[in-house]
Amino acid sequence: MAQRRALTLEVESLRKKLRILIEQNSSCPELEQLDRQEFCVDFEERDKIAATTKERCDALRALIEKENVARQLIRDRLIKEFWDPMQGKGCQIVSLASSLAVSNYPERTVSEAESTTLRKLRVMRKTEQLENAYIKTSDCPERLRDDLLLQADQFASGDEDYVVNWWHAGSLAKDGEKEFFDQQFLYEPFELLTNCRRRVQTHMLQSMAAEFRQSFNGLFKTCQNDKKGVMDQIREKVMRIKAILVELQVEETVPEPELHQHEEEEAVLAVKDREIKAEKWISPEERKAAEE
């Protein structure tokens, strides 16, 4: 036990002397400093620690790469499922002087099957309207004139207060209103007697709602271009102000207008440098490549 204690004290004494030498070496001029490896006394332990560290680093790197691949796969699937099918991506117009914002209507791409179904319904509805118009003419045989299920004009004028959203069959837009294509195919409220007609009405209303959204998005796009033009004019004036400040030798920061991240459609898929809070770690290999 005494010998072991003596060896422990001797090792501790050597450790203290070694630390003193390392501290003195760090305070020496750069040309007189020795490399840190010159103070190593246990090469086997050093190599063992280095090998263990490298093994842990490789395992951690492999784990991180695996997690990144999994995240990238999920990202690609989300983009394919929810982003690519969109004909119009969602974005906003944000006020320059306040936090007010206006959003557009995100629109998905209409599939060929949906377009085909809608075309068939329009043809069917147009045929039905032509048939109704023919029944009301004098050329129609007498036995076919009573073929209609219900004639709403016999008991309703369309101006009743208790009927909401009365769409006159085949009616067009009023003066000053924009005419939408599918508006002429809508049934009147008292014509929705069967489930088949209700389903057709649902498709027509959905198509008309899509037309409303597209019309609004057109106005939204115009306003968006107007704002970009105004921002370009402001940037030109800011550049003039900066040039004048340089001539006057005045150091002053002049803010420039920038688009809000919600005003750029692709911003949701991109990561900007200012959004990354952690400092990027650069490996020795990357530093060497950058210096070369």
Domain assignment present for 175: yes
The rounded distance, in Å, linking the Cα atoms of 87 and 110 is: 8
pLDDT at residue 139 in the model: 79
Q: Give me the residue label for tokens 């390392």.
A: 22
Q: Are 184 and 172 in contact (CB under 8 A)?
A: yes
Q: Are 102 and 91 in contact (CB under 8 A)?
A: no
Domain assignment present for 140: yes
pLDDT at residue 149 in the model: 60
Question: Contacts by 40-49 with C-beta closer than 8 Å and gap 24+?
Answer: 41/14
Mean pLDDT by 10 residues, the chain (292 residues): 76 77 77 72 78 92 95 94 90 89 92 92 91 79 67 67 63 54 82 88 92 93 93 92 88 86 85 79 80 77
Domain assignment present for 250: no
Mind giving me the DSSP string for the chain? -HHHHHHHHHHHHHHHHHHHHHHHHHHS-TTTPPPGGGG---HHHHHHHHHHHHHHHHHHHHHHHHHHHHHHHHHHHHIIIIITTEEE---EEE-SSSS-EEE---EEPPPHHHHHHHHHHHHHHHHHHHHHHHHTSTTS-GGGTT--S--GGGT--S--TTS-S---TT--PPTTS---GGGGGPPPGGG--SHHHHHHHHHHHHHHHHHHHHHHHHHHHHHHHHHHHHHHHHHHHHHHHHHHHHHTT-----------GGG-GGGGG---GGG--SPPP--HHHHHHHH-
Tell me the pTM: 0.68
What residues does 108 pair with on adjacent strands? 86
Domain assignment present for 55: no
What residues does 131 pair with on adjacent strands? none
Domain assignment present for 206: yes
pLDDT at residue 113 in the model: 92
Domain assignment present for 118: yes
Domain assignment present for 44: no
pLDDT at residue 75 in the model: 93
What residues does 86 pair with on adjacent strands? 108
The rounded distance, in Å, linking the Cα atoms of 267 and 94 is: 15
Q: Range of 204's domain?
A: 108-211
Q: Give me the residue label for tokens 């019309």.
A: 215
- CA-based nearest residue to 83, from 114, 107, 103, 111: 107
The rounded distance, in Å, linking the Cα atoms of 142 and 34 is: 116
pLDDT at residue 94 in the model: 92
Domain assignment present for 168: yes
pLDDT at residue 48 in the model: 86
- Tally of domains in the chain: 1
